Amino acid sequence: MKNRIFATLLTFICAVTTLFAQVERPKLVVGLVVDQMRYDYLYRFADRYGDDGFKRLLREGFSCENTIIPYIPTYTAIGHSTIYTGSVPSIHGIAGNDWIIQATGQAMYCTQDDSVKTVGASGKVGQQSPKNLLASTITDELKLATNFQSKVIGIAIKDRGGILPAGHFADAAYWFDSKSGNWVSSTYYMQKLPDWVNKFNKLKLAEKYLKQDWNTLYPIETYKNSIQDDNEYEGKWAGEKSPTFPRKTSELMKDIGLELIKTTPQGNTFTLDFAKAAIEAEKLGNNPTGHTDFLCISLSSTDYVGHRYSLSAVEIEDTYLRLDRDIADLLNYLDKTIGKGNYTFFLTADHAASYNPRYYTDQKGNGGYLFLRQIQRELNDELTKKIWSQGLDKKGIQLSGTPQPQLDRFVKSRRTSR
């Protein structure tokens, strides 16, 4: 009896071993995070999506529909960190896009690293790294599992969108500096930009895209999933008479600069152009060691568009119709360069967004505004008075006295220093 059980177990082990031996590793993993993408966008605009973008992902892949975000707030840095670590802010350490260090009172940006320098531009735009991320990412674990022979690169217009997913052991992370018009990095990863990045930067694609202006992909009267174009819920740029199409980005760029590319769907196209250049130049998916490479892409423009124009705007609908085409183009590119079936691709979002509160209440919904800055100001003033009334300084050290003029000056300085 024991021999038969052992023989059965041995047969099972051999079968499992054979099965796993036959499973080939993907040559490349591409993670695409669409900043601020709501789940309902997959079907809200589906009647105008093509067959090769979002619909292909749903048709050929798996859709995880029972997912929960177990933390607050749902900010960009937290979302990207949670996706790639599988952890939560209390463990991975990224508690917001920025925060205050309680022990010192120092303000800290999520990827701030004053010990490194900018590569590819001047100023502090490149003084960034993943050092504040306390947990290991899936990209870190890939590097460890392959004895650092896998190649990992992170790309996003937002620095935090490129840095945090790529992890601590990344070969590179790149983000866009609108002042110089360059994709940049930091000395955490490299001492100078690769030749292919310099070559790409010389193309000045952000400027070229903005010169084309932004008009709707289809006749504007056919955008039935959005409210009328001229409405009071979306913001307009200085110099615009109304927040309506066409958006004259070629004119607005003269005052706003290349920062404008972030708030257009062309910002997504621009990012994917750079991603494809990275795949080609870095030979991602064609690692000579045979190990899997990992490309982390975050599309930041969807977030900028959502914040400026609100969820119900034509701009949102047009952005996602264009993104559907961009995704189709990226998948087609991967099919040709890496080979269909040779790569793993996933799509997710770092967070979503809620409707414009004024729009919601105008539709007779229960909602409104919470004036956080006013609440913060009043709380700070009350805490300041409380501390000084107890004879303590800002660090909690006992004072010999707290005359009223000194208190007034301190409170006034607190009000003007924000």
Catalytic residues, by residue number, are 76
Report residue 99: phi and psi, to 5°. -160, 175
Alpha helices in 202-265 (DSSP H): 205-211, 249-256
Contact 230, 218 (CB under 8 A): no
Contact 358, 85 (CB under 8 A): no
The CA–CA distances, whole Å, from 401 to 349, 405, 412, 414, 417 equal 54, 11, 18, 19, 24
The whole-angstrom distance between residue 401's C-alpha and the CA centroid of its chain comes to 49
Beta strands in 290-368, from DSSP E residues, in sequence order: 293-299, 343-348
3-state SS class at 7: helix
Reference 308, options 34, 39, 76, 36; nearest CA is 36
**Residue appearing with tokens 């609108």:** 178
Tell me 27's DSSP state.
Answer: S
Reference 166, options 209, 193, 136, 200; nearest CA is 136
